[in-house]
Copies of this chain bind each other. A is one copy, B any other.
Amino acid sequence: MKIVVVGGGAAGLGAAGAAQGANPTAEIVVYTEFADVAYSPCGIPFVHGKEIDSFDKLFLATKEQYVKSGIDVHYETTVEAIDTEAKTLQVQGEGTVSYDRLIIATGWLYADPGVAGTDLDGLYRVKDIRRAMEWDKVLETTKKAVIVESGFIAMEMTTALRHRDIDVTLVDPGPWPMSDVADPEIVEPVRQSWEDLNVDMQWGNKVTAFKGSGSGSLTHVETDQGDVQADLAIIGTHKVPNNPLAKAAGIKLGSTGGIIVDSHMRTSANDVFAAGDCTEIPHGVSNVPLQGLSGSHAYAQGKTAGVNAGGGQRGYNPVYVPWGMLAGEWMLGGVSFGETTAAALGLDFVTGTANGITRARYYPGTKTITVKLLAEPTSRRLIGAQMVGGEGIKERADFLGMMTRTGITVDEIATMENVYSPAIGALNEPIAVAAQNLVSKL
């Protein structure tokens, strides 16, 4: 049995490892266009921001470890075509290569800004570690940067560039930071902390062109509200699935452009699986297909695809998408929808909000936290959450993700028990108080 994986990110390597685990005698081959695998691209903004002192720290495993584990990684090798009937690939420099099972994990790209000048020098799409190492040297002499749209990585880069003392203008068509996922009052402390960092924020504005000098270097960015001088632009547009290969092979794509997969990560083609950001996954609350989730999702999907490709049986559930990040001086997070998105989708919901603290009021290091919950009034089930605070956001988002997925009512959450111990938790858990406030409105 020969299992081939296209893509060396979290989904691809998760798949390769799981396929090997499920089928230890199988031949496992991974193709990647890049020079490296097994590093954490999510760490790149923090190296740029100097929170992490070296790109080397982002590597999780060495190439030798993969050789030793028996997974055959072909670096800097592009897969040019898939023939799902013949079960072969056209591989750059290798010709025709056969497979028994194929796993597509080709990931994502930044959406094309769709304006003139995107081929200029000075446009940085944060993604590949080798490019990041080169860009980090550019940042040494960068004076003025424009951040184009406030996606997750772009938000981290906004803070990172200010830590590098680079002037930053953030241009976003939305009315507030991350307006597609976060409610305005939740993200307000983040906006405020960027204001404190002297970020020039231009909400409701749109880039119309990138303009350069005769030598092809970026000099300024044209926007609806005028020109912004800049020698660097961070492209922070949303993720789009990287699927020219799957599309050309006739594999069925969905409305997002992601590969449609079933609960076992099988595509429309026989013996072809897919995982990670190149797929689309149904959202558990709305059943709307989602694309462009987290590295954790990609890894879990990869493992599912790998187990099944190896001959095992594993299902993958609809997603409820607990999320979280460091943003400005805050941690921001949530589950599924905020109020803005839920209203836009026409969902019926009631909200409950609580402001709390993470440890006893008098204990050193205690941080504030705001929790906002959304529930569907008939079923009284949680359908979303939004949070901002100084610690414990990730763990609470995981918790609320499970509450949403398992259909626990807000009545149940309102009476949850919570740990109280001055150094680690406050008398009142803000999740419980938010649920109590929500219940009182139902």
Interface of A with B (CB < 8 Å)?
10, 40, 42-43, 46, 51-52, 57-58, 60, 294-297, 299-300, 315-317, 319-326, 331, 333, 360-364, 391-399, 401-403, 405-406, 408, 412-413, 415-425, 427-429, 431
Contact = CB atoms under 8 A, between A and B. Distances in A.
Contacts of A408: 402, 406
23 contacts: A40-B360, A40-B422, A42-B360, A42-B420, A43-B360, A43-B362, A46-B422, A52-B363, A295-B420, A296-B417, A296-B427, A297-B417, A315-B415, A316-B415, A322-B418, A325-B421, A326-B423, A394-B421, A398-B418, A398-B419, A399-B399, A399-B402, A401-B419
A417 B319 contact: yes
A54 B353 CA distance: 32
Most B CB contacts (10 A, CB to CB) among A300, A395, A424, A425 go to A395
Contacts of A300: 415, 417
A158 to B, nearest CB: 14
Contacts of A413: 402
Contact of A419 (B60, B294, B418): B294
A257 to B, nearest CB: 22
Contact of A320 (B316, B326, B417): B417
Contacts of A320: 417
Contacts of A416: 398, 401-402, 405
B363 A46 contact: yes
Most B CB contacts (10 A, CB to CB) among A57, A300, A402, A422 go to A422
Nearest to A316: B415
Contacts of A325: 421, 423-424
B398 A398 contact: no
A427 B295 contact: yes
Chain copies in the assembly? 2
A412 B418 contact: no
A331 B42 CA distance: 28
Contacts of A323: 419, 421
A321 B417 CA distance: 7
Contacts of A394: 392, 418-419, 421, 424-425
A50 to B, nearest CB: 11
A424 B360 contact: no
A326 B322 CA distance: 27
A200 to B, nearest CB: 24
A120 to B, nearest CB: 30
Contacts of A361: 60
A42 B399 contact: no
A209 to B, nearest CB: 33
Q: Give the 10 A-B CB pairs with smallest separation, nearest first.
A: A395-B395, A296-B420, A394-B425, A57-B362, A326-B423, A399-B399, A324-B419, A394-B424, A394-B419, A325-B421
A324 B363 contact: no
A206 to B, nearest CB: 27
Contact of A51 (B315, B316, B415, B423): B423
Nearest to A416: B402
Given A51-B363, A398-B429, A416-B402, A424 B326 contact: yes
Given A398-B417, A403-B402, A362 B425 contact: no
Contacts of A363: 43, 46, 51-52
A44 B208 CA distance: 61
Contacts of A52: 362-364
Contacts of A321: 417
A263 to B, nearest CB: 11
A408 B408 CA distance: 10
Nearest to A393: B424
Nearest to A421: B325
